[in-house]
């Protein structure tokens, strides 16, 4: 049985970052995954992911995000790849809604530079957008997007260059831990290690062994639309920032046109429950498409409805919508990174650092108390 300092199960956004940080510190580390690097079967694909600092979900995420930005820029330098574009982000919705109100509260708590725009001012700046007269509008200049597959590739390449080993095409069946370490059994062979990191995304539920932590997997649709040719410049990168709309029918977000596919638009709310990620139905859902196109008609009127492409990714939802990040409640040699609930990828760079800390020393300087997996065990008592 081959032995390692740490085994990482799942090498997508979080796992690849953990591999990089562990290997960079000289740990002998193994990454195990069913699928190859930057695959399209889980949560870390689809070309782009939003990154933003004024975090409406909870102000306590902001310190982690500050460090995430630093580490994404460091990864760009080390890998020589462009990974993060600060295009800006327009967030709009009713003043009483949790999105804009939460964003402004987070900005106030951490003294973040967020600009509030009137509807006429937003229309002058971004004529491709049409925003409701009674909406509150916030613009965050340092927000933007990450090239998701490139981020995974960069973390993986640097990890391998630093000595990490990868076992692709292997399915983890179970693990066990005791005072001496951990053993991970796959459908090929078993491996032992001093510590284990679980970053297996939609496949995490069966591996967690935390009774109170119930994870639900949702299928999420991504759509790309080519702008009407006469208005293409209104939606081009450099002209249009990223956008997020808190509408009466759901929360929608999108990105400027970055390639021939055009503008990417998706719904953050909703989603179809998935019982088995391995047999995901990837057919186009016309109802999901219609919901997105209603938002386009209302708020991106010059974009048109020429859908050029669509794809699906997976959200792994925790019971409260916040991450489960920290040491396993019953096994100090096991670290959990799960339940990212559709808003985790932007944190991957710093979560990799956190996971390396916990796997090697059992502690981290980062403030994680509000994300501890222990909270689910307490709820189950």
Cα–Cα nearest to 44, from 253, 370, 344 = 344
* Spatial CB neighbours of 295, under 8 Å, sequence gap ≥ 6: 245, 247, 249, 252, 265, 267
Query: Which one, of 277, 355, 368, lies nearest residue 316 by Cα?
Result: 277
Kindly name the residue from 49, 52, 220, 226 that is annotated as catalytic: 49
At 223, give phi and psi (nearest 5°). -130, 145
Measured in degrees and rounded to the nearest 5, phi and psi for residue 299 equal: -125, -10
What are the pLDDT tens digits along the chain (381 aa)?
999 999 999 999 999 999 999 999 999 999 999 999 999 999 999 999 999 999 999 999 999 999 999 999 999 999 999 999 999 999 999 999 999 999 999 999 999 999 999 999 999 999 999 999 999 999 999 999 999 999 999 999 999 999 999 999 999 999 999 888 999 999 999 999 999 999 999 999 889 988 889 999 999 999 999 999 999 999 999 999 999 999 999 999 999 999 999 999 999 999 999 999 999 999 999 999 999 999 999 999 999 899 999 999 999 999 999 999 999 999 999 999 999 999 999 999 999 999 999 999 999 999 999 999 999 876 544
User: Any catalytic annotation for residue 313?
Assistant: yes
48 is catalytic: yes
Single out the catalytic residue among 45, 226, 291, 310.
Answer: 45
Nearest in space to 89 (alpha carbons), one of 150, 132, 43, 48: 48
Which homologous superfamily is 89-141+216-315 in?
D-Amino Acid Oxidase, subunit A, domain 2 (3.30.9.10)
pLDDT of residue 379: 54
Considering the candidates 47, 220, 346, 375, report the single residue annotated as catalytic: 346
- Sequence-ordered list of residues with C-beta below 8 angstroms from that of 292, at least 6 positions apart, any chain: 221, 223, 252, 265, 266, 267
- Residue 262: what pLDDT? 97
What phi, psi does 152 have (nearest 5°)? -65, -45
**What's the pTM?**
0.97
Per-residue confidence (pLDDT) for residue 381, from 0 to 100: 41
Of 6, 48, 156, 199, the active-site residue reads 48
207 contacts 198 by C-beta, under 8 angstroms: yes
Q: Which of 155, 226, 268, 291 is catalytic?
A: 268
Amino acid 222: pLDDT: 98
Closest CA to 308 of 254, 253, 243, 264: 264
SS3 category, 334: strand
Our answer to whether residue 346 is catalytic in this structure is: yes
The question of whether 3 is a catalytic residue gets the answer no
Catalytic residue list contains 49? yes
Q: CB-hemisphere CA count at 13 Å for 218? A: 19
Work out whether the CA dihedral 319, 352, 170, 284 comes out positive or negative: positive
Concerning whether 264 is annotated as a catalytic residue, the answer is yes
CATH number, span 2-45+149-215+320-379: 3.50.50.60
- The number of CA neighbours under 13 Å toward the Cβ of 296 is 26
> How many Å apart are CA 353 and CA 335, to the nearest integer?
12
Which residue, chain included where needed, has tokens 């390639």? 259
Active site residue 242: no
Residue 157's Cβ-count burial label (10 Å; 0-12, 13-18, 19+) is: middle
What is d(CA 26, CA 31) in angstroms, rounded to the nearest whole number? Answer: 15
CA distance 11 to 155: 10
Q: Could you tell me the residue ranges of all domains in the chain? A: 2-45+149-215+320-379, 89-141+216-315
SS3 223: strand
3-state DSSP assignment of residue 331: coil
């Amino acid at each position: 049985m081959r032995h390692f300092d740490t085994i990482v199960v799942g090498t997508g956004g979080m796992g690849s970052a953990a591999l990089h940080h562990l290997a960079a510190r000289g740990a002998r580390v193994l990454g195990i995954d069913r699928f190859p690097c930057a695959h399209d079967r889980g949560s870390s694909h689809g070309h782009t992911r939003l990154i933003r600092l004024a975090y409406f979900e909870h102000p306590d995420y902001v310190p982690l995000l500050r460090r995430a930005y630093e580490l994404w820029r460091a990864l760009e330098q080390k890998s020589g790849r462009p990974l993060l574009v600060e295009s800006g982000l327009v967030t709009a919705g009713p003043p009483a809604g949790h999105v804009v109100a939460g964003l402004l509260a987070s900005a106030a708590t951490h003294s973040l530079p967020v600009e509030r725009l009137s509807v006429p001012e937003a229309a002058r700046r971004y004529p491709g957008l049409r925003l409701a007269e009674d909406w509150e509008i916030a613009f965050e200049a340092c927000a933007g997007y990450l090239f998701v597959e490139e981020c995974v590739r960069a973390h993986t390449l640097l990890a391998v260059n630093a000595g990490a080993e990868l076992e692709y095409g292997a399915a983890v069946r179970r693990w066990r831990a005791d005072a001496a370490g951990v053993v991970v059994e796959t459908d090929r062979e078993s491996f032992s290690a001093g510590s284990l990191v679980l970053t297996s995304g939609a496949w995490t539920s069966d591996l967690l062994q935390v009774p109170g932590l119930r994870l639900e997997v949702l299928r999420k649709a991504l759509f790309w639309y080519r702008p009407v040719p006469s208005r293409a410049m209104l939606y081009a990168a450099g002209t249009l920032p990223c956008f997020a709309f808190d509408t009466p029918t759901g929360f929608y977000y999108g990105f400027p046109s970055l390639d021939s596919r055009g503008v990417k638009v998706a719904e953050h709310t909703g989603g179809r429950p998935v019982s088995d990620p391995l047999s995901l139905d990837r057919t186009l859902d016309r109802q999901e498409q219609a919901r997105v196109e209603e938002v386009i008609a209302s708020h991106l009127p010059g974009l048109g409805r020429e859908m050029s492409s669509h794809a699906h990714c997976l959200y792994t939802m925790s019971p409260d919508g916040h991450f489960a990040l920290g040491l396993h409640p019953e096994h100090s040699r096991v670290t959990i990174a799960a339940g990212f609930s559709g808003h985790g990828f932007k944190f991957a760079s710093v979560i990799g650092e956190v996971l390396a800390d916990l796997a090697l020393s059992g502690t981290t300087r980062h403030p994680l108390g509000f994300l501890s997996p222990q909270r689910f065990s307490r709820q189950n008592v």
